[in-house]
Structure 1
Amino acid sequence: MECWTGIAQKRIIEDLNLLIEGMNKEEFNFVCTEKLFIKISKMIVEKKIQVEKAILVLKHMGYLKMLKSISGLRNGACILCARFEIMIEKEEKKKKEKDEKLLLDLYECCLLLEDGIVSKLLQVCVPCLRKAASNREENEEVQKEVEMALLALSNIKYDEVRNDLYLNEIKEIIVYHQELWNLIQLAYQSAWGFLTNGLLHNANLEEVIVNNLHFVREVGGELEELTKCVDWKREKEERGKEGKEEILILKWLQTLGKFLFYCRLRNEEYSVLVESIVQAFRAAKDNYRDIVSQYIKSFCFSVNNRNVKVEGLLKSC
């Protein structure tokens, strides 16, 4: 990208984003090295690439990192995000004409690429992301931004924000989707990811999540529908190339595992959930190790917290 500017550089970025979309975890880790992030940071400082153009690539990298649950982007991402945090502070200090779009992009880059962000920035970061996530315009561009904002929010630990207002707003987003089905699948899963992050420090959430928002019923239904869309008997050479349905199943299971670990409240919907996850477990057991591993964790959490009785689980299997 250093050799090109303007339209040519933008085209290179678009091509690079297409390549990123097709990467598996191993390819992603091979390409997204510390050296790469340091190089991008240097190019921004030397004005060899505009921040807005760098963001187009970096948000794509962060999106894939979160989508495929890739951990540890090395120190380079931290160095780059530290530079972005300085830019955020400068922009936030402006009394007039703040670049709201730039701020949103910078927040998303930091949260998607890193597994943490400077705590003082969360006070301005979360409201901005929440506002973007609450946009209910029905067009593809807006929905993609809603998805990105919710995905970034899902990477924030509840003990870092501890604000019931944010949780109430996320609950509203979930309820609105349950009534009108306005969210992209990953956006809906991410909203639940952010909400269930609060279970460790907020026991009152159990009643809301289980009996008011019906998480168990929702995740059971999502897993059932996604299971129908996957080619579980794929050829050997196709293994390791996850489609969006497999990725979503894995992410739902990760959220489910967290929920089962922290939540002890039960209701009649659990029996339906067990049937859904056992059905998908049977389908995945030959070719999808990551999914099977996550299912087993979910089973263990269910039994340990007595959300599901052992005899009921064995009967379903």
Structure 2
Amino acid sequence: MTTNLEQTIEEQFETLQILNVKGEIVNKSADPQLSDDELKELMKRMVYTRIWDQRAISLNRQGRLGFYAPVAGQEASMLASEFAMEKEDWLLPSYRDIPQMVWHGLPLVKTFLYSRGHFEGGKIPDDVYTLMPQIIIAAQCTQTAGVALGLKKRGKKNVAFTYFGDGATSQGDFYEGLNFAGAFNVPAVFISQNNRFAISVPVEKQSATKTLAQKAVAAGIKGIQVDGMDPLAVYAAAKNARERAINGEGPTLIETLTYRYGPHTMAGDDPTRYRTEDLDSEWELKDPLVRFRIYLENKGLWSKEIEDEVVETAKEDIKKALKEADQIPKQKVSDLINNMYENLPQNLQEQLEEYRKKESK
């Protein structure tokens, strides 16, 4: 039974929406007032990423990529929030958040090498402020609190952004990260992409709370729930959270209500076993690309010709990056041993010499 106090708390977390499914502005006061060029750039990134996602799925099925977590449906949640970041803000992604890394500056070829498990995929350029994708669920939450504390101590006017799914909010690291961030009032933005299923477990079975955003209350930080299929709402929430952070007003937890159209990963997950066709159809009507396309077309900023050009650019970029990845020498066991230690212990030194002999044949 919900108590009066619980109901009062839940009522504070109404979903922020600016652009409805018909591509209409329904909340003018919250409109972030992006310029025409910014609106077009955000749409280009979303279309580009949808094409990239389709190609990555195909490459995975061909055996040309390794681990891959599909992103279709989550483009607004991912890209509109990253769009609010500055170049020297830090990004701490999960395994699904590869698009944010690329739009934050990581070369596309690195993502293919990362998927293949090649060590070159983990060599991040010095001018790209991102950590590697975190596989351990919610571990990036505690890391984000630490990175943000470092930024604060150094007097940087930058923020640490992190992404995780709804399932991560059931992990201890999530609570520890938020609590630490709140206690030290660090410049951090925690983005929970609630796509409703932690692999196969529906969010309703993960938590008794009506929203995930209200979990911020216990940490003493700001929480907000947004329509994660609405690029304008996501951007507005992320931008406001960043401004609060650099102004010393503390961290923010953003819950984006979104949906992944594909499986959890390409490693054998079958979403038809735990999702209904009716639910899939319901969320397809909320597609972020569709509503944003309508909005831009009505403003005279978008056309089929522009979109076709973006699609072709994406295909060409992917082709070039894949060719470059294919030309990288395959990783050897000796590489693995050398990369793990600066000074090898005796037993690994012996193994290294053994494998070098095998690899030279």
TM-score by length of 1: 0.30
Structure with more relative contact order (C-alpha pairs < 8 Å, separation 6 or more): 2
User: Of Structure 1 and Structure 2, which has the larger fraction of its residues in strand?
Assistant: 2
